[in-house]
Structure 1
Amino acid sequence: MDYDDEIRNLPIYKAAMNNDWDAVVHIFDMQPDKLDAKLTYWWETPLHIAIGTNSSHGFVNRMIERIVETDGEKLRAKSLWGNTALHYAAKVGNTKDAKLLVAKDPGIAQMVNRDGHTALKLAAKYGRLETLWYLLEVTKDEIGEDGTSLFAAVSGADLVTLTLTAGFCDVALYLVRTYPDLVTQKDREGQTALQVLATKPHVFPSGNPLQFYQHLIYRCIPMNLEKTSNRQLASFVSKCIVLIAPCGKDMYNMKLSHIQTLTLVERMCSIVIGKGSHDLAWNVLGTAVSTAVKTGIYELIKVCVETYPDIVWYEDDGLYLFLSAIRYRQEKVFNLVYEMTRHKVFAATDNPNGDNPLHIAGRLSPLPRLKTVSGAALQMQRELQWFKEVEKHVEPLYKDALNKDRKTPRAVFTEEHKDLLQEGEAWMKDTSSSSTVVGALVVTMAFAAAFTAPGGNNSYGLPLLLKNKTFLLFIVSDAIALFASTTSVLMFLAILTSRYAEEDFFYALPKRMMIALVSLFLSLAATMIAFSATLALLLRDEIPWIAAPVTLCASVPVTLFAMLQFPLLVELVYSTYGPSIFKKKMSA
């Protein structure tokens, strides 16, 4: 190729970019060979450029008509990487021009680029849903140059996994229903569709944590009811929710997607088990389960185990399913497997490294799971919760058993968590030190205020405003501020003088921190009330309306403190006193 032609063909390039057919029509009249001229270093033709803009539709229309009139084969002109103009349309989601191309040359949909990708697969790869559905309609299931169909073997598996990677579970469900053999095929990366799906937690309910109100809306949206009358009722209720709730449409689409995903998993497992081959089921379901346990997709694991219960013994890196749930700190998977297996045999299972389940629980959580809890202190608490939960289910002799490094589970826990222990101690001390200063200041102010009553005292030392209700509010608020601030200081001092043993992070230290924070908040709130009451008493004659603005201003620091500290307090309370993350329903 003469790359100087790029300069000479620059007017065509600009016209294709700007949808300006009139600027270059005379060039094509005089030089028809320019219709497929290579305008760029990547051998892109005017049709490639115009379609790639996804806006030069008029130029594309006229260009296609001119090419068909002169030489229809030029519609199939390829770039350096073997991409046709239809490949470009698939990349950018240009469905409008894709329809024009296929209408003139239906066979262009079957063409592959140098990577073996059809335009259909590129639409899936780049997440172009509308174009993907259209190309599914026009791409034929016929034998290609490599002797296989585009919807079979590696090529077909590629299509399904690319679709799942893009999050289009509805398209994948259509493909699996139409071409069921794709479920057991591996793509060019050596992965099955079920294994790829196991890496996508966001397409499952467990991967989409909802706020309380969102959860209510989600549960109220009825779907997939069997009877026709119920379907009509469900449709009506769903439409009402979508109209009434601001986020109703999003919730509806999310729930629909989740139902499609779960249906897809069930269909895939049914197809696999229907093959009647243990080796096939072991490979396809096992790899999916071992991947899902790392991402925490318990819904997929549940369907796989229900379909083929023996899959719980699939081994990945020396770990069975139950042990993997412990290693990767997936409590939902842990609970699920414990409930579904109906026995405790896993608790007495070693791995090849000589670690029993308690050794595995004693090792530090993977960083992504550790970071799901904020703060080193609460992270240490969560690690202790895991260790103690697993300890409940192992045989007594396993609690002091030695692994290949001659270490007990507790020794493993101590060694693995020594840095986290130091971080938790530092966080507790820093928080307590700074908060103690604030609490001490409140103690000082509240104590002094008790002996300097607003309005002064009479000759007997009694406050002049003793019978005033606002004065009573001042006295009560000041007393609460003094008692609460003293309590907070004492609790923070107790934290500072703690021994900071591992067990302290399980209950004692979080409890003290909760009491200290609540007390500090009460003392600040009471101090602001006492201050507001004092101003109202002193200025009630000169400025009668002073109470409202003063109270409003006083609420600002209290509100700020609550906003800044409340999330931490909630997490402390929930983690320490809230429902356990281990919710096993079966009895021992």
Structure 2
Amino acid sequence: MDFDDVIPNLPIYKAAMNDDWDSVEHIFDNDPQKLDAKVTSWWETPLQIAVGTNSSHRFVTKLVDRIMETDVQKLRTKSWWGNTALHYAAKIGNTRAARLLVSKDPGIAQITNTDGHTALKLAARYGQQDTLWYLLEVTKDEVGEDGTSPYTGVSGADLISLTLIAGLCDVALYLVKKHPNLVTQKDGNGQTALQVLATKPDVFPSGSQLGPLQHLIYSCITVNLEEASDYYPSSFRLFVSKLILLVAPCAKDIYSMKQKHFHTQKLVKRMCSIVMDKSSHSIAWDVLGTAVSTAVKHGIHELIKVCVQTYPDIVWYNDGGFYLFIAAIRYRQEKVFNLVYRMTGHKVFAATENPDEDNPLHIAGRLSPLHRLKTVTGPALQLQRELQWFKEVEKHVEPSYKEALNKDQKTPRMVFTEAHKDLLEEGETWMKEMSSSSTVVGALVVTMAFAAAFTAPGGNTITGSPLFLNDGIFLLFIVSDAIALFSSTTSVLMFLAILTSRYAEEDFFYALPKRMMIALVSLFLSLAATMTAFSATLALVLRDRISWIAAPVILMASVPVTLFAMLQFPLLVELVYSTYGQNIFHKENNVLLH
């Protein structure tokens, strides 16, 4: 191609971009060859440019009609990468153009580009759900130019993999129902559809981060009558769901999320069922095993649970020397590890040594992967979480493992100490810096509260008793000041206890978090009480002159207290939950797995 031809064709390019058919209609009247002229250096035609805008709909309609009057094959003109206009429609989700093109030339849906991709596969790759559903209707299960069908072999496996990567589990479920052989096929990356699904935690409930209110809405919404509770009629659950969606528009996103989770659950069960229908251990071992080993890394316990329930032996799938529960320890996936509590007496076999001579306790002693370490706030709580893992694994190993030496001649405790040396130092620094700063604030409150106790607002009588002694507001002042003094003193003492701690590893498990919790709660109470005492003092002194002073003073006094709560409350909640809340290791239900 002579690239200089691109410049004379610029008017056509701009008209296609701006949906301006009238300005170039005369060009096509005079020279029909321009209908599929290459208007860019990538050999793109006016039709491809117009379709790619997803807005020049009139231009597309007029141009297609004109092409049909001359040569229908011009609809199939390809760009540099071998893409037709339908490929462009699939990539950008222009379903309107796709319907028009296929209605004029049904065979265009079977054409592949230079990479062997049909428009159907491109719609899946770019996550264009509406266009994908339409192309699934019109793309036939026939051998194409490259000698394969879009729904078989690597091409078919690529299609379902791309669909799953885009998170379109409802589409994937449709493909599995219509083409069950896709479940055991491997895509261009050598992965099965189930293995690809095991890399998508966001399509499972465990991968969705929901707040308390969102979680409540999620639990109340029903996306299928099969989900109805045993305690409430289906009609009632359905009524509640519709009511929530009506009064809370934001719940629509949560509804869509739960709907996706429902499709994913059905998809996993259908895939596992198809695998078992093959009645082949090698196929089951390959498809389910690779999926389970991948799901462990991403913490998708829902997929693992279904795979193990389908084929219990899969818990012994060996991935580089790591069985299921050993891998859960390695990647610090507590929800996967919790499945061990749903095993029978066979759980004693779950904690076995790996070829590197590291027993499970050695593995628990090594530093957690960074992305899992960051799931809790601050190095102190991170070290606490690591200790929780170590102590929990210690309960499940043979007694001899606790002092066993690995190939480096180190016991599990030695491995833990060495691996967490830097984290221990960071935790110590974090605790000391926070305690030092807070001690200054606590000491200031102690000083003010102590001085205020002997400086009564309004002064004293001749006998020395406070002037407002019999006033109810004065009583509020005295009580608030006393609370401020006692609580601030407590916070200072607790922060000093943290500063003078020996900072051993075990201190981070319970002692230091407990002291930090008491110190933060005491400091908050002292600030709140100080602001209350200050407000009471102003109300006493100024109420005779400025009667309306109470309301604005209380409002302003609440600002610093509210700020402190907003900034420190999340840390306090995490401290309480991590130390006294439900253990991250627990049995979810009584359904046995193995």
Counterparts of 1:173-212 in structure 2, within 5 Å, are 173-212=173-212
Q: How many residues align?
A: 588
Would the alpha carbon gap of residues 93 and 231 (structure 1) be closer, same or farther in structure 2, given more than 3 Å must change? Answer: farther
TM-score, length-normalised on structure 2?
Answer: 0.96
The answer to whether residue 580 in structure 2 is matched with residue 577 in structure 1 is: yes
Offset of residue 39 of structure 1: 1.0
Per-residue CA deviation, residues 404-452 of structure 1 (Å, 9 max, x unaligned), is 1111100010011011111110000000000000111111111111111
CA contact (8 A) 2:82 2:113 kept: yes
Contact 2:111 2:145 in 1 (8 A): no
The correspondence for 1:301, drawn from 296, 301, 304, is 304
Matched, 1:325 2:325: no
Residue 246 (str. 1) matches residue 249 (str. 2): yes
Instruction: Say if 1:380 and 1:424, in contact at 8 Å, map to a contact too.
Output: yes
Summarize deviations over 1:118-137 as a string: whole Å, max 9, x none: 00000011111110000000
Tell me what 2:381 maps to. 378
Aligned to 1:119: 119
Q: Distance in 2 between matches of 1:348 and 1:11?
A: 72
- Choose between structure 1 and 2 for higher RCO, CA contacts under 8 A separated by at least 6 residues: 2
Where does residue 95 of structure 1 map in the other structure? 95
The amino acid that maps onto 1:483 is: F
Using a 3 Å threshold, how does the CA distance of structure 1 residues 49 and 348 change in structure 2: closer, same or farther? closer
1:219 deviates by: 1.8
Shift of 1:234: 5.6
Distance 2:477 2:543 in 1: 14
Cα distance, 1:342 vs. partner?
4.5
- Measured against aligned partners, the alpha-carbon deviations of 1:323-377 in whole angstroms (never above 9, x if no partner) come to 0111111111000133135532245400111111111111111011110101111
Q: Which moves more between the two structures, 541-550 or 2-11?
A: 541-550
> 2:402–2:412: 8 Å Cα contact kept in structure 1?
yes
CA contact 2:340–2:347 (8 Å) conserved in 1: no
Relative to structure 1, is the Cα distance of residues 261 and 74 closer, same or farther in structure 2, using a 3 angstrom cutoff? Answer: same
Q: Which amino acid aligns with 1:332?
A: K
Separation in 2, partners of 1:586, 1:218 = 20
Q: 1:342·1:586 contact (CA, 8 Å) conserved in 2? A: no
AA partner of residue 463 (structure 1)? P
Residue 12 (structure 2) pairs with residue 24 (structure 1): no
Q: Distance in 1 between matches of 2:128 and 2:534?
A: 62
> Are the aligned partners of 1:45 and 1:79 in contact in 2 as well (CA < 8 Å)?
yes
Q: Which sections of structure 1, spanning at least 5 residues, go unmatched?
A: none
**Whole-Å Cα distance in 1 between the matches of residues 355 and 463 of structure 2?**
85
- Determine if the alignment matches structure 1 residue 530 to structure 2 residue 548: no
1:125 and 1:162 in contact (8 A); partners too:
yes
Whether contact under 8 Å (2:35, 2:46) holds in the other structure is yes
Displacement of 1:499 in angstroms is 0.5
1:312 aligns with 2:346: no
**Structure 2: stretches of 5+ with no match in the other structure:** none
1:350 corresponds to: 353
Indicate the percent of aligned positions where both proteins have the same amino acid.
77
Q: Which residue of 2 aligns with 1:405?
A: 408
Deviation of residue 461 (structure 1)? 2.6
Please give the per-residue CA displacement for 1:443-464, whole angstroms capped at 9, x wherever unaligned. Answer: 1111111111112223433222
1:523-576 per-position Cα deviation (integer Å, ceiling 9, x unaligned)? 111111111111111112212222222111111111111111111111111111
Q: 1:288 aligns with which of 288, 291, 299?
A: 291
2:220 maps to: 220
1:68 aligns with 2:68: yes
In the alignment, is the contact (CA less than 8 A) between 2:123 and 2:131 conserved in 1?
yes
Matching residue of 1:79: 79
Equivalent residue, structure 1, for 2:438: 435
Structure 2 distance, partners of 1:455, 1:224, is 69
CA change 1:443–1:235 in 2 (3 A) is closer
* 8 Å contact from structure 1 (residues 120, 135) kept in 2: yes
Give distance in 1, aligned partners of 2:531 and 2:222: 49
| 2:158 matched residue in structure 1 | 158
Q: 1:317 deviation in Å?
A: 2.4
Secondary structure (helix, strand or coil) at the match of 1:483 reads helix
**Is this contact kept in 2: 1:381–1:506, CA < 8 A?**
yes
C-alpha separation between the residues in 1 aligned to 2:227 and 2:534? Answer: 66
Greater shift after overlay, 526-535 or 129-138? 526-535
For 2:258, the aligned partner's letter is K
Structure 1 residues 311, 505: CA separation in 2 closer, same or farther (over 3 Å shift)?
A: same
Instruction: Quote the residue 2:56 is aligned against.
Output: 56
Q: After the TM superposition, which of the residue ranges 209-218 and 37-46 deviates more from structure 2?
A: 209-218
The CA deviation at 1:19 is 1.1
SS at match of 1:343: helix
Aligned match of 2:40: 40
Q: Distance between the aligned counterparts of 2:484 and 2:348, measured in 1?
A: 56
Q: Aligned pair in 2 of structure 1 residues 534, 367: CA closer, same or farther (>3 Å)?
A: same
Q: Contact (CA 8 Å) 2:201, 2:298: kept in 1 or not?
A: yes
Residue type at the aligned position of 1:405: D
Q: Which residue of 1 aligns with 2:423?
A: 420
Whether 1:541 and 2:544 are equivalent positions in the alignment is yes
Tell whether the 8 Å contact from 1:48 to 1:85 is kept in structure 2 after alignment: yes
TM-score, scaled to structure 1: 0.97
Aligned residue identity for 1:283: D
